Amino acid sequence: MRIMKIFFISIIITAFGIFYAMSKATDSIVGSVEGMMCIECQKKLIKAFQDELGKEHDIKVIVSWEDGLGSITFPESSNIDEDTFKKIVTQSGFEVNDVIRKKIPVRNLPQAKKTLSEI
């Protein structure tokens, strides 16, 4: 009887863990951005992403003018795609070359650079 209780509780905990992980599923889009020459360009692109995609929707933006890249990480349920990424970059006055979408969260600049190098 005791073993069945432990088994039942472990199944509930496992199911809850899987549900929680799936609800936090994220996608990332990383792209090569040309035309950024300074920190002000970087700030301009970050602001454009935040203005277009919203600051309150669990969206993480990484932009580096020195490395010429931009990255957004967002909930999988969002209606954000590669065309949206490209549109925001080009409307900000920059050019987009390579773009990759991954089903992982990109949390920092080294990870964004690694993701972009996979193209």
Residue 103: Cβ within 10 Å count: 9
Residue 5 placed within a domain: no
Residue 113 placed within a domain: yes
pLDDT at res. 21: 46
Range of the domain at 75: 26-117
Residue 37 placed within a domain: yes
Residue 21 placed within a domain: no
Residue 9 placed within a domain: no
Residue 3 placed within a domain: no
Question: Could you tell me if 48 and 91 are in contact, meaning their C-beta atoms sit under 8 angstroms apart?
Answer: yes
pLDDT string in tens for the chain (119-residue length): 677 677 667 667 765 545 444 445 799 999 999 999 999 999 999 999 999 998 766 899 999 999 999 999 999 888 899 999 999 999 999 999 999 999 999 999 999 999 999 88
Residue 97 placed within a domain: yes
CA distance from start to end of the chain: 55
Predicted TM-score of the model (pTM): 0.77
pLDDT at res. 109: 95
Residue 94 placed within a domain: yes
**In whole angstroms, what is the distance from residue 19 CA to residue 31 CA?**
31
Domain count, the chain: 1
pLDDT at res. 106: 95
What DSSP designation does 59 have? -
